[in-house]
Amino acid sequence: MSHRLVRQPRAHWILLLLGLVVLLGLLMLGGYSSGVLGGSGRDQPAGDMQADRVPEEALKAGPVIRLDGPTVRSLSMPEKTIALTFDDGPDPQWTPQILDILAKYDAKATFFVIGANVNEEPELTRRIADEGHELGSHTFTHAELAVTSAWQRQLEITLTGNAIAGATGLQTNLFRPPFSSSADALTNGDFETLQEIAQLGYVAVLSDVDTKDWKRPGTDAIVKAGTPEVVAGAVVLMHDGGGDRSQTVAALDVMLPALKAKGYRFETVSKAAGAPSAMTPAPTAQQWRGKTLRWAQVVASAVATGMTWLLGIALSLAVLRLVVQLITVRLHRKRVKRRWSYRRYEVLVPVSVIVPAYNEAANIAATVRSLVASDYPYLEVIVVDDGSSDGTADIVRRLRLPDVFVIQQANAGKPAALNTGMRAARGELFVLVDGDTVFQPDTVYNLVQGFADPRVGAIAGNTKVANRKGFLGRWQHLEYVIGFNLDRRFYDVAGCMPTIPGAIGAFRAEVMNDVAGVPGDTLAEDTDLTMAVIRAGWKVTYEEHAIAWTEAPSTLRQLWRQRYRWCYGTMQAMWKHRRAVGERNRLKIGLTYLALFQVALPLTAPAVDIFAVYGLLFLTWQQIAVFWIGLLALQGFAAAVALKLDREKLGPLVSIAFQQIVYRQLMYLVVVQSVVTALIGSRLGWHRMARTGSAAALMSHDEHDRPLARN
């Protein structure tokens, strides 16, 4: 039957692109916000470590520094006044314990928070402010600003301010750069960075005393380092996040009562310096930006987790498929040997070869000649011209070959042409052949010998790509050998062959009566027909020695149209025969295999590629290299096995790496398009591939003279 061609949807490509962009953006936000380190010490020199451009008054300044004017202004803590400061939080484990100790001893402190942590712990951030403590900015990801670009410094400060506003409704003008200590340790890069941040309205807070608690030197060492001189005031640097802070908590519980007993008071930086509170109400717009940022980060974290699982599922499916294929390859080889060794008789019954042809002038002569040249003794060839406009029927007639018949009909589609040919056929077995396919002399003989088993109703042959030149030809050659023929070996062993290819397949005449001929209500009539044969109770097998050479698409556009039709038609057939899952036949195994590896696995591919881009940005190159090399190794191994089984040269293996760049993406986009088309219920028209005569060329070259000896 013919199908009305309707305009296909295009909006979903825009939605897919936008979805992938959003997905990548969320992953990048998640990767950016999760790259939080901690501590105040530099592991190695970064940027300009000289101090020749730092003014003397800055090096001798107090811990609170204003650099928004022409001169350096600073403040120090009054005598016996300590401003405890905590960096790298809030941390869900250590910050609450520190807050409890501060409340226990009625002490106030200033917490220099990391914006990404604020978004993860908004309630804890609010608790800090609600209990009378002060908040300051410590960048969004603990980035060392002196070695980052100007736009990243601006981003770090802006995002942190928004995060604090979104969590607390407040904004702060205090800022402490990561990896900082006292003023006398300022470098050229540090000073210039603080000048830039000051123009955004921030006051820099360094320290007088660095406890170095991030090194975890022990509770006693932290207590000793955090105790100032007898009467001096100080800004004391400690940490409530960025790692194990159990020693900090223990030291604080010792320091506070000991110093209070000596007359020290513990205040926020602003109050200790006699300055107005650094915390003021944030504008409503900033609060909403902060809330939006927080939810985006929450979603990004969930997406990153989901993507990790999805990547694991995709890899697991790929490995599972390979393992299943390799296991069944051994079983299939043994089964093939048994089939040829223990056949009860040689099958030599009359065979009718049906060739549906629509505008196949480029290849039809070669196809018919190869069939007539078969060494099978009882053979007739019926060519059904389905409304061709290029003289296909006339070409066949001019050949004047014996036992070749031509039937012409108005264009009605391939299923109708096949049914017309079978109604005119006289053989007990039907071999269905595409009009661009060339057989070897022993192909028909090898193909039909499996009918010695009366349970076998249909047999799939081994299709090979004739036009293998160029990357596209080699990629399709590998796909046929790996993706199709390895799978067919599994289907053969499992007894669930879902597709006999239209290029080469054999059927008993009585089977065609049982299933009422070739169905025309799906675009994959070969899959639809094969599934119907299995559901009718017949066995379907694969004969690897029956080789047919076919012309594959020579352009990406042709390939897209062909695979789109195949994929969509397969989905139609799967849906049509879905009830087989509940029936007593093995088609349910084939349907499950198709659903997992032909639909679900390709649908995960876009996300996997997006995750790979994310990995290039946020993972080490060694991790990415191991992943891709491992993936290519698996594919290369499967390809080598498949090529060896099909007695093919290993040369095309060199193109596998390039196949990942173009071909794989095209194939998964085909699946995406097919799923969308299926969901919206569109119908597809017949897409004819422009023929170049590559299959015909086999008749004039030695390439087709690779016959396998009759077994």
* Active site residues per annotation: 87, 239
Cα–Cα distance measured from residue 366 to residue 358, given in angstroms and rounded to the nearest whole number: 15
DSSP string, 468-534: --HHHHHHHHHIIIIIIIIHHHHHHHHT------TTSEEEEHHHHHHTTSS--SSS-HHHHHHHHHH
For 655, the token pair is 């193109």
Cα–Cα distance measured from residue 165 to residue 170, given in angstroms and rounded to the nearest whole number: 5
Cβ atoms within 10 Å, residue 40: 23
Beta pairing partners, 448: none
Q: Which residue has the tokens 């690897």?
A: 544
Answer left, alpha or beta for residue 433, where phi above 0 means left and psi between -120 and 50 means alpha: beta
Residues 561, 687: contact at Cβ < 8 Å?
yes
Instruction: Kindly list the distances between the CA atom of residue 55 and the CA atoms of 51, 71, 72, 299, 709, in Å, as whole numbers in the listed order.
Output: 9, 9, 8, 45, 91
DSSP string, 180-218: ---GGG--HHHHHHHHHHHTTT-EEE--SEE--GGG---
Cα–Cα distance measured from residue 347 to residue 452, given in angstroms and rounded to the nearest whole number: 6
Helix residue spans in 595-698 (DSSP H)? 601-618, 621-645, 656-659, 663-680, 694-697
Cα–Cα distance measured from residue 105 to residue 97, given in angstroms and rounded to the nearest whole number: 13
Residues 437, 467: contact at Cβ < 8 Å?
no
Beta pairing partners, 266: 82
SS3 344: coil
